[in-house]
Amino acid sequence: MITPDRTVPTTCPYCGVGCGLELHIKDDYIFKVTSPFDSVVNHGNLCVKGRFGYDFVYNKDRITTPLIRKTVQAPGARTQAFDRGQWREVSWDEALDYTTGRLVEIYKRDGADAMAVYCCAKATNEDNYLLQKLFRALFRSNNIDHCTRLCHAGSVVALQMALGSSAMSNTAAEVIHSDVFLVTGSNTAETHPIIALQMKAAVANHGAKLIVVDPRRVEMVNWATLWLPEKPGTDVPLFSAMAHVIIKERLYNQDFIDRRTEGFEDFSRSMEKFTPEYAEAISGVDRNLVIQAARMYAGAKNAAIYWALGIPEHSHGTDNAMTLIHLALLTGHIGRKGTGLNPLRGQNNVQGASDSGAMPWHYPGYQRVDDEASARKFEQAWNIEPGGLNRRLGLTTTEIMSEVRPGGVRALHIMGENPMMSEPNLNHTRHMIEQLEFLVAQDLFINESGAYADVFLPAASWAEKDGTFTNTDRRVQRVRKALEPRGQARADWQIVCDLAGRIEKNLGCPQTAYWAYQTPAEVLEEMGSVVPEYAGVKYPRIEQQGLQTPVWDDNHSGTPYLFAESFPRGKGKFYDCDYIPSVEMPDEEYPFILTTGRLLEHWHGGTLTRHSKLDELNPEARIEINPADAARLQLEDEQAVRVSSRRGSIVLRAWVTQRTTVGVVFVPMHFAEAAANLLTIDALDPLAKIPEYKACAVRIVAAAKQELARPEAKVGRGRY
Amino acid sequence: MPDVTFIIDGKSVTVPAGTTILKAAEQLGGQIPTICYHDHCTANGLCRICVVEIKGVKPLVPACLTPVREGIEVSTSTVRAERSRRTILEMLASAVDLSQAPEIQKLMDENHADQLRFAEGKRREYPVLDDNPMYVRDYSKCILCWRCVQVCADDAQFTHAINFTGRGFETSIGTFFDKPMPETTCVFCGQCVGVCPTGALKPKREALLEQGVSLDEILQATRGGQKRRRKSP
C-alpha cells in the first residue's frame, strides 16, 4: 500500500459540473484521485476524466520552458512548428521582454483594434480577470473573448434579453425535486456525467419523468418517457409547437404570466401558426409526441429544462434558447426548487471566465463596455484617466479570427485555447491565423494553434496553481496548488502579471493599473470590489465549500436558485419567434446533416485528454451513421469513409449505430487527424455570434483503410 | 415521521421512526463495527459484522439494516454478538488477502480475532486482472462486500457492468461472460475503485507504483501526442 505524502482537496479541471477531488500525492506524483463522499456537488462520484484523466500533467511532451521560434514568422507565411527543434529555449525574461516588445510595437503602430486575446474557460477566475484587465487597461482593446462564444453564447443572449440573467437558474442536484424534466441538445451522460447520474436517480428513484428532445438517441433516451427525435436545427418550430399546445389547451399559468411576464398577448398570437402539424412537417417529430410533451411539461408540479450546446450552436441559436425560455414563462416553471432554465455549461470555468469579463461586450460582471457609468467605474478601479477605456464593443472569438488582416487584428494572445481545433471551418481559420503578425501561446502543450505561435509561455496546470473555478450552477470553488509547477512553468496569473508590468513600463503609463498581486486571493478580492455578484466571495469563506453567486456581501450565504421573486430585468419578456432554417440544408450533392459534439473520454480540442491514458479508451474518431443510411450507401461498420462538406474533407471510421437518426451523422470534435471542424460551417447567429456547429451538409463515400490515421487501431467499446 | 423510543445498551433513546439501529447508535456516539456498510451505498447486511442482539429475538440482527421499533432492547456487544464478529473476521482472514484493508485489520485487533484460527482453510486466489488502462482488479483481496456492484448499479452509476458470479465459495465479482472491462458497459468512472475497502480495486498507476515500477517508466507509459498531427490539407 502506498501512503500518500499529502492529499490535496481541489476542483476537477474538466467539465462544468465542478466535482470535488482529492489528489493523493507521493513524491510529487499524483497516483490516485478520490472524491470525498460529502462533496456537495458530486457526493463522491466522478467520471473517467475526473478520476483518471490527470496524467497529462506528467506527459513528456509537456512544454516546461519558455520558447521562441527559431525562424521569424512573417504574416501570410506563418507555419506550424510541432517539433521542439524549431524552437529555441529561452529564459522567462527573454520570452516576456520579447513578447512585450512585439505587442507594444504593434499597439503603438496600429492601435487598440490590432490587439486581441483569447481568454480561457479552463483557467481560473483570477487568470481570466487579469488577462482581460491587461488588454483593456493597457491596450485599450475590447477584442477579448473565449470559448463561451462557441458554446452557450446563444443561451446567454436569450436569457439576457428575456430575463436579464445568463446562468443556470437552479442547482443541478435539484433535479430530484422535479416531477418532469426536459433535456434537449445535451448528451448529458457523456458531457456532464455527474449531473446525468442525478438525472438517472431522479427517474429511477424519485419517480420523475424525462422528456428528451434530440436528433441523436443519446444515452439519456434510455431513461426517457418521451423521446422527440427532431431533425437538427428545428428547435424553434418544435418548442413553439409545444407553446402552441400549452396556449391552445390553456395549460399555461395565468397568474404567473400576469405577475411576472410581459408581451404574452403578442406572443400568443405569434404562436398560432406553430401547430403540431407544422412542427411535424419541419422537425420530423410525430405531432402526438409534441402534444404529449407539452401536456407533460405544462401539467407538472415542478418541471425543469436542461439544455446544452445542441440549442445555442446554430445560426438561430438565440431563437432556439428563447423558445425554451417561453415554455418556462408560460407555465411558471421557474423560480422554485426543481424548476428552472438550466443551460449546462461545458467548461469547468466557462461561467467564471464569463463572470470575470473575458467577453468583448462586457466588463467583469456583465457590465457593458458601452455604458458610460460602467466604463467610469473600471477607469477608477484600474487607475485609468477618465475616458481612457475603450467604449466600443470588441470582436467575438470568430470575428477576431476573420478580422486578421492589415488594418485589422495583427496580434493575438491565446491562453489555453485551441482555435485550430475549435473554430468552425478550420481551413478558413488556418488561412487567417497564418496572416497574424504576432501570436503568443500560453499553454501546457504545443497544440494545433500554439504550433503557429512566435512565442510559447509554459503555463502551470490546474494542479500546480491556486485559484477559483465557477461551475455550471454558479458555485465558486477552490482550486489548490498540489504540486510545484513542472520545470519552469508558471501559473497563468503570474505570467499575466509579469507580462503586464513589463508592458505598462514599456508604454510609459503614468500610473499603474496594479499588477503586484502576491496571491490569487487578492485578485479575487479586487474582482469582488467591481462585480457585485462576487462581493461576498472571499477565499476564507470557500475553503471548505464553494458559494453560489450572487453573493452580495460578506454575510450573504449564496443563491442556490434564482428568480424566486423577480427577474433581474423586472418582468420576463416574451419575444416573437419565427422559424429560420439552418444556413446549409442537405441537398442531392451533400445529402446528410452533420452534427458535432463531445465524447465521454475526451475534452474539446484534445490538448489535455489526447495527452492522457484517456486516449487509449477512445483512440480515434468515428462517424456515427444510422443503419438505414449505411445500408443505402452500402457501408459496413468500422469501414473507412471520406466525409466532405463544401469546406473540407476528412477520413475516419464509420460506426453504424442507432445512436443517430436517419439522415443525420455525428462526428466528435476532439480528433485532429479527422477534425470535425474542417467540415462545419462558419455561419453565425446574428445576435450571439455563435457558429452553427450543429448542422451542416455533408456527403459520405467509402475510403480505403490506408487513408485512416490509424488503420489498425482497436475500435469499439461495450459502453453505450 | 413519528418518533420511536427504544433501549440501546441500557439507555432509553428516542429517534425518528425508520432510523436503523446502526444510525441510532451513531447518533449516541456509539460505534457498531461495519465492513460492507457504506454511507453512500444501500445497506445490504452482507458481512454480518454489525450484528446486535435484540431481547426476545432469537437470531442476531444486522444493525445496518434493522430499523428500531418501539420498546425494543438492543445490546450491541453481547458475548454472542462479539463471538459472531470474531468468527466472521477469522473466516475472512482464512480466505482473503486482507493485507491492504487497514480498517479490517484494526477490527481484527479490537475483536481479538485469531487470524490463524482457520489457517488450513482454502484461500480465495485469483490472478490479477489487468485488462484496461485505468484500474486493476485483484479479487484475491475481495471480501464480496458488494459495494462496487452497487455503485455500478442503482447506487450511483446505473451502468451495471459488474455483478456477482459463481456460487458459494466460488462466488466472485465479475463481468458478463467474463468479458474484459473495455468490452462491457463500463464507463471507467471508477466509483467501484472509490468504495473498495480492501485494495482489490486499484487505480493502475497506484498499482504500478506499488510494484516498484519507477515514476519515469510510469510517466513514459503515458501516451504521447505523436498521433495528433495533421498534415496540411
The CATH code of the domain that includes A16 is 2.20.25.90
B47 touches chain A (CB under 8 A): no
The pLDDT tens digits of the residues spanning B154-192 come to 999 999 999 999 999 999 999 999 999 999 999 999 999
Which among A197, A205, A718 is the nearest to B182, CB-wise? A718
Say whether the peptide bond before residue A419 is cis (omega within 30 degrees of 0): no
Residues 385-444 on A with a CB inside 8 Å of B are 427, 430
Partner residue facing B225 (CB), from A34, A445, A649: A445
pLDDT tens by residue, B48-57:
999 999 999 9
A215 and A331 inside one domain:
yes
Binary contact (B194, A200; C-beta < 8 A): no
**B223/A611 touch (CB, cutoff 8 Å), yes or no:** yes
Residue A582 within any structural domain of the chain:
no
Mutation pick from A78, A197, A444, A452 vs chain B, by most beta carbons of B within 10 Å, is A197
Residue A255 in domain: yes
Nearest to A492 by CA among A120, A79, A12, A137: A120
Determine which of A192, A218, A613 to mutate to test the interface with B (most B C-beta atoms within 10 Å).
A613
Residue B59 forms part of a structural domain:
yes
Q: Is the pLDDT of residue B124 over 60?
A: yes
Contact A35, A458 (CB under 8 A): no
User: Does any domain span residue A669?
Assistant: yes
Q: What is the pTM of this model?
A: 0.95
Asked whether residue A494 is assigned to any structural domain, the reply reads: yes
Q: Which of A48, A204, A720 sits opposite B134 (nearest CB)?
A: A48
Whether residues A468 and A523 fall in one domain:
yes
Question: Is A612 close to B154, i.e. CB distance below 8 A?
Answer: no
Q: Across residues A487-507, what is the average pLDDT?
A: 98
Q: What is d(CA B184, CA B161) in angstroms, rounded to the nearest whole number?
A: 6
The answer to whether residue B223 neighbours chain A at the CB level (below 8 Å) is yes
- Residue A689 near residue A584, CB atoms below 8 Å: no
The whole-angstrom separation of Cα A44 and Cα B208 is: 24
Domain finish residue from A21, A36, A58:
A58
Residues B214 and B145 in one domain: yes
- Say which of B151, B188, B218 has its CB closest to residue A52: B188
Give me the domain span that covers residue A603.
592-707
Whether residue B130 is contained in a domain is answered as no
CATH number of the domain that residue A387 is part of: 3.40.50.740
Average pLDDT for residues A392-407, to the nearest whole number?
96
In whole angstroms, what is the distance from residue A239 CA to residue A227 CA?
A: 14
B169 within some domain: yes
The reply to whether residue B156 touches residue A600, judged by beta carbons under 8 angstroms, is no
The residue among B99, B187, B214, B217 with the most chain A CBs within 10 A of its CB, best to mutate, is B187
Segment B96-115, tens digit of pLDDT: 999 999 999 999 999 999 99
- Residues A436, A335 share a domain: no
- pLDDT value, residue A51: 98
Query: Are A130 and A49 members of one domain?
Result: no
Chain B environment of A720 (Cβ under 8 Å): 185
DSSP A632-682: HHT--TT-EEEEE-SS-EEEEEEEE-TTB-TTEEEEES--GGG-GGGTSEE
Cβ of A649 and B156 within 8 Å?
A: no
User: Looking at this predicted complex, what is its ipTM?
Assistant: 0.94
Does residue A315 lie in a domain region?
yes
Per-chain mean pLDDT for chain A: 96
Residues of chain B neighbouring A197 (CB-CB closer than 8 A): 156-158
Gap between the Cα atoms of B102 and B173, Å rounded: 21
As a whole number, mean pLDDT of residues B76-97 equals 96
Which residues are CB-neighbours of A174 under 8 A, at least 6 positions away? A304, A337, A338, A340, A560, A561
Same domain for A484 and A339: no
Indicate if A476 and A388 belong to the same structural domain: yes
Domain boundary pick from B37, B62, B80: B80
B107 falls within a domain: no
Asked if B186 lies within 8 A of A616 by C-beta distance, the reply is: no
CATH of the domain at B31: 3.10.20.740
Chain B, 123 to 182: residues with Cβ < 8 Å from chain A are 132-135, 151, 154, 156-159, 161, 179, 182
Give the residue from B41, B65, B80 where a domain finishes: B80
A41 and A195 in contact (C-beta within 8 Å)? Answer: no
pLDDT value of residue A167: 86
Nearest to A148 by CA among A692, A696, A690: A690
Domain encompassing residue B38: 3-80
Domain membership of residue B228 (yes or no) is no
For chain A positions 562-621, those within 8 Å of chain B (CB to CB) are 600-601, 606, 610-613, 615-617, 619
pLDDT at B58: 95
C-beta of residue B157 within 8 angstroms of C-beta of residue B186:
no
* Domain tally, chain A: 4
Q: Domain total for chain B?
A: 2
Which CATH number goes with the domain that contains A250?
3.40.228.10
- Give a yes or no: residue A578 inside a domain: no
Residue B215 domain-assigned? yes
DSSP alpha helices (H): ranges in chain B?
A: 21-27, 79-95, 102-110, 147-152, 191-195, 204-210, 215-221
The residues that bridge with A183 in the sheet, in sequence order, are A212, A306
- For residues A600-608, average pLDDT: 95
Q: DSSP letters of B92-156? A: HHHHS--TT-HHHHHHHHHTT--TTTTTTSPP---PPB--SSSEEE-GGG-----HHHHHHTTTT
pLDDT (average), residues B79-86: 96
- A56 contacts on B by Cβ (under 8 Å): 222
Mean pLDDT throughout A405-419? 97
For residue B223, the model assigns a pLDDT of: 52
* B229 in reach of chain A (CB within 8 A): yes
pLDDT bracket for residue A712 (50, 70, 90)? confident
Write out pLDDT tens, residues A437-458.
Answer: 999 999 999 999 999 999 999 9
Residues of A in contact with B131 (CB under 8 A): none
Kindly state whether residues A294 and A406 are assigned to the same domain.
no
Same-domain status, B70 and B143: no
Residues A163 and A114 in one domain: no
Residues A377 and A494 in one domain: yes
Query: Residue A709 burial (CB < 10 Å; 0-12/13-18/19+)?
Result: buried
A341 HSE (CA, 13 A, CB side): 31
Give the count of alpha carbons within 13 A of B38, CB side only: 24
The answer, for A647 touching chain B at a CB cutoff of 8 Å, is no
Please state, in angstroms and rounded to a whole number, the distance separating the CA atoms of residues A583 and A284. 18
Residues A610, B225: C-beta atoms closer than 8 Å: yes
In a domain, A303, yes or no: yes
Chain B CB within 8 Å of residue A48 CB: yes
Domain contains B173: yes
Terminal alpha carbon distance of chain A: 34
User: What whole-number distance in Å separates Cα of residue A669 and Cα of residue A603?
Assistant: 9
B211 touches chain A (CB under 8 A): no
**Do A136 and A50 have their domain in common?**
no
Cell of A290: 409534441
Out of A197, A601, A710, closest to residue B227 by CB: A710
With an 8 Å Cβ cutoff, is A7 touching chain B? no
What is the torsion angle, in degrees rounded to the nearest 10, for the CA atoms of residue B183, residue B189, residue B195 and residue B198? 50
In this prediction, residue B221 has a pLDDT band, given cuts at 50, 70 and 90, of low
Instruction: Check pLDDT > 80 for residue A711.
Output: yes
pLDDT tens, A614-669?
Answer: 999 999 999 999 999 999 999 999 999 999 999 999 999 999 999 999 999 999 99
Same domain? For A31 and A99 the reply is: no
Is the CB of residue A554 less than 8 Å away from at least one CB of chain B? Answer: no
For residues A114 and A104, the answer to whether their CB atoms sit within 8 Å is no
Q: CATH number of the domain at B204, please.
A: 3.30.70.20
Q: Which of B45, B80, B115 is the last residue of a domain?
A: B80
Looking at the fold, whether A633 and A658 belong to one and the same domain comes out as yes
Which residue, chain included where needed, has cell 527543434? A85
Answer yes or no: is pLDDT of A716 > 90.
no
